[in-house]
Amino acid sequence: MTKTKVTIFDYGVGNLHSISKALELSGAKVSIATTIDEVLKAKAIVLPGVGEFGAVMKAMGPKKKLLTERLEEGVPALGICIGFQVMFDTSEESKGRGLELMNGRVLKFKDVRIPHMGWNTVNTTRAGAKDPIMRSIPKISYFYFANSYAPMSKSKDGIVLAESDYGRNFPSVMRKANTYGTQFHPEKSSRFGLRLIKNFVSFAAKEAIY
């Protein structure tokens, strides 16, 4: 059986072992890309969850709009934590623009301890219950978070598939076209996190653009 090819974009800011291992356990053939040109050729993309908004966008360079176009075309993608946040227009963490795939702003948590570190509930929405990424995951489940910022609770663009609360309500899983974003780290979230990654790999196998 041919394995699904998934490319992780290495921004040069973190250890990719955990997400690589989780993808491999889920049946993916994993490659690491260090340039955006490699990412643009990928059949399925993962934007990993370590880094800072401005640094990640700098790593993408002047071709970031080409990546947005590729995502809008429907290449399967999964953005984790910062990889999710850079899909939005802007962030309080850094100046400059994100990928602008999803309309909205990433905001810093206020009046709570930061970073938001550890297990928290993820509540699947009605839309999420019908989406393949949340298949076999309970409506209320626990995932592992490590973040000081999160997207605003309401966006004019993208479908909210799950929500969480930490001082305020925020989307913890979203989708636009074939691009998913999770604010938590599925690769650190035990069996339900691995299930979500398996769901993504299965989805990518069906939707990959060749």
Domain extents in the chain: 4-207
Q: Which residues are catalytic?
A: 81, 185, 187
Q: Does domain 4-207 have CATH number 3.20.20.140?
A: no
Say which amino acid occupies 31.
Answer: S
Across 73-102, average pLDDT: 96
Tens digit of each residue's pLDDT (9 = 90 or more) over 152-184: 866 567 899 999 999 999 999 999 999 999 999
Full-model pTM: 0.95
In percent, the amount of the chain with pLDDT more than 90 equals 88
Alpha carbon separation from 114 to 19, 36, 85, 122, 201 (Å, rounded): 24, 31, 17, 19, 32
Residues 7-24 have a mean pLDDT of 90
